[in-house]
Amino acid sequence: MTNPALDEDRLRTEARAILRENDLGGYTIPTKGLYPFQWNWDSCLVALGLAHVDEDRALTEIETLVAHQWPDGMVPHIVFHADHETYFPGPDVWGTARATPTSGITQPPVLGYALRRLLDGARDGAMVAPRVAALLPKVAAWHRWFANARDPEATGLVAILHPWESGRDNAIDWDDALARVPTDGIGSYVRRDTTHVDAAQRPTKEEYDRYLWLVQRFRRLGWNQAALHDASPFRVVDPGFNAILTRSAEDLAAMARALDAPEIAAEAESQAARGRAALDGLWHDGLGQYAAYDRAAGALVESASIGGLLPLMALEPGHPRVDALVARLAGLRAAVSHPVPSHDPADPRFDRLRYWRGPLWLIANRLVADGLARHGRAEAAAEIARDGLALVARSGFGEYFDPLDGRALGGKRFSWTAAMVLDFLEMA
Ligand code: DGY
């Protein structure tokens, strides 16, 4: 940046403009065309950025999402507030029979994490605290749903049943498990994503076939969440997802203690403790980081992705694995021009352009930076924030970025990238 102050003003103004133009009234779409509905973790992370601009609107973002929580506690990954032809698969494919249609799967539970950031940073505590307090039982119900529906054997770790649940749709972590998902009987369909974004930057047709087979399988089971876990050929334990859930449970407990909800606090504290202890079962000595566990196959997955670094945000300070994760991050930093690649570039399967198989994502960087700061690595966290800002100043508000040359990839004028810029401006 030649004139950092000027660039910061320009970035702030542009980030706010993007959040305004993607605001459809009570919820923010990720970007026009490619993603015209409300996505679960997008909204929670967008709220982190909105909080710097308008705390009332940030809370509304989350309240709108949670208003579509299922009776069993699940918060769905997409809420289809209005009809749009530009996205596939739409509500008719999901067939979840909700008054406002939703998908039938979930997404990384950053809700508790985001709410605590809103509460702790509140400028208008008298307005924020009661609204957060009203949301706590709903967060607790979602976390309870995870324990029941996605960890039926009480291992302390939850499985995802669809790659879309991970938020890292086509990560190399899922390749082997996804290869076992059949493709028979899915019928013909027309993808819309590749009309908005270069197909080289998106998941492949083979992956989409399997994504759809899983949706159809779950739909035939009537979206009975209690039955899906054992009926799914795809059951994978993602260290990133579990770290997010564990951290959200810790944050829920802290909010509940502060807001005088001791029963919620006690339940969340025990869920966080169980999750933290169980994470150690995902440590992969050969990779020097955490790895996914293929529950259907009963084996750790040979794949060094950013998912295996996210436990930094959940481990207790001083935990013996922290130094190894920090060293892994330093190694990845040395291998790319822009941190943090979503997959290790030394792996021949790394793909600098293709979605979650290599590109860097500012939202993942935000969670990694949080983990670094939690363990006293404030300078490393600030470097991630500064690089993110410089990247957006140069390449624009892309959905994700090539970690080697910094070009913007995927959707444009992306809400969560704008939100992370507003957040990084406060951190850097
Ligand atoms: C998509 O359609 O690409 C989404 O990631 C699914 O949630």
Q: Kindly list the domain boundaries of the chain, sorted by start residue.
A: 8-427
Token reading at 284: 């992969």
pLDDT given for residue 428 in this prediction? 74
Distance CA 299, CA 176 (A): 11
The ligand 1 site (C-beta within 6 Å) comprises 77, 164, 169, 193
**Ligand 1 centre and the CA of 213: distance in Å?**
15
Beta bridge partners of 290: 283
Number of Cβ within 10 Å of residue 79's Cβ equals 22
**Ligand 1 centre and the CA of 356: distance in Å?**
12
On whether the CB atoms of residues 338 and 387 are closer than 8 A, the answer is yes
Residues of 142-163 as b/e, b for ≥16 C-beta within 10 angstroms? bbebbbebbbeeeebbbbbbbb
H helices of 259-377, where?
Answer: 262-279, 322-335, 362-374
DSSP secondary-structure letter at 312? G
Q: Which residue's CA is minimally distant from atom 7 of ligand 1?
A: 164
Token reading at 392: 């957006």
**Ligand 1 centre and the CA of 138: distance in Å?**
24
Distance CA 401, CA 67 (A): 33
27 dihedral zone (left: phi>0; alpha: psi -120 to 50; beta):
beta
How much is the pTM?
0.98
On whether the CB atoms of residues 333 and 212 are closer than 8 A, the answer is no
H helices of 83-222, where?
Answer: 91-94, 111-120, 125-149, 163-166, 175-179, 193-196, 205-220
E strands present in 55-105: 78-79
**Ligand 1 centre and the CA of 164: distance in Å?**
6
**Pocket of ligand 1, candidates 169, 202, 355: which has the most ligand atoms within 8 Å of its Cβ, to mutate?**
169
Atom of ligand 1 nearest to the CA of 103: 7
pLDDT given for residue 1 in this prediction? 47
Catalytic residues: 169, 399
Atom of ligand 1 nearest to the CA of 169: 5
Token reading at 158: 């939850």
Helix (H, G, I), strand (E, B) or coil at 121: coil
Name the stretches of the chain with pLDDT < 70.
1-3, 5-6
**Pocket of ligand 1, candidates 164, 166, 194, 361: which has the most ligand atoms within 8 Å of its Cβ, to mutate?**
164
DSSP secondary-structure letter at 399? S
Q: What is the CATH code for 8-427?
A: 1.50.10.10
pLDDT given for residue 6 in this prediction? 62
**Ligand 1 centre and the CA of 349: distance in Å?**
21
- Rg over alpha carbons for the chain, rounded to the nearest Å, is 20
pLDDT given for residue 159 in this prediction? 98
Distance CA 67, CA 290 (A): 34
**Pocket of ligand 1, candidates 31, 34, 35: which has the most ligand atoms within 8 Å of its Cβ, to mutate?**
35
